[in-house]
Amino acid sequence: MTYNRDDAILVVDDVATMRQVIRSCLNQLGYYFVDEASDGEEALKKIRARKYAWVLSDWHMQPKGGAELLAQLRDEFGNDAPPVVFLTMDGDWKVMSSAKDLGAVRLIVKPMRPSSLKASIENVLTKAAA
């Protein structure tokens, strides 16, 4: 799948500051069509209403976390579900394995500086376009 700067991207995180940092990184990369959701449930509502090229989501959220979000996306949309990249503070192998088993494109471990996050996002987009 290739991405272009006009694609809509959904950022899902329960911390407003983190959503702002991610949005800023995406804007620096030239992506300006960025929507936000504060948890998996809100994200599902937005995904049902609008087509997103991809989703960048936190793993640990309440009441519906990243794993539940991705599982429900796969159930509802099948192969038409937007690709999901996860951000998590949990670098545990079990979390990484679970994310991969659910079909996540990548798992990025935080905390990280905005420049590192920007590089990670750029790397994901570059690999996806290849």
Tens of pLDDT along the chain (130 residues) come to 556 677 899 999 999 998 998 898 888 888 899 999 999 999 999 999 999 988 999 988 888 888 999 999 999 999 899 989 888 876 667 777 887 888 888 878 777 667 777 777 777 766 655 5
| Domains of the chain (ranges, CATH numbers) | 9-105 (3.40.50.2300)
Pairing of strands 9-12, 54-58: parallel
Write down the pLDDT at residue 20.
Answer: 92
The reported pTM is 0.86
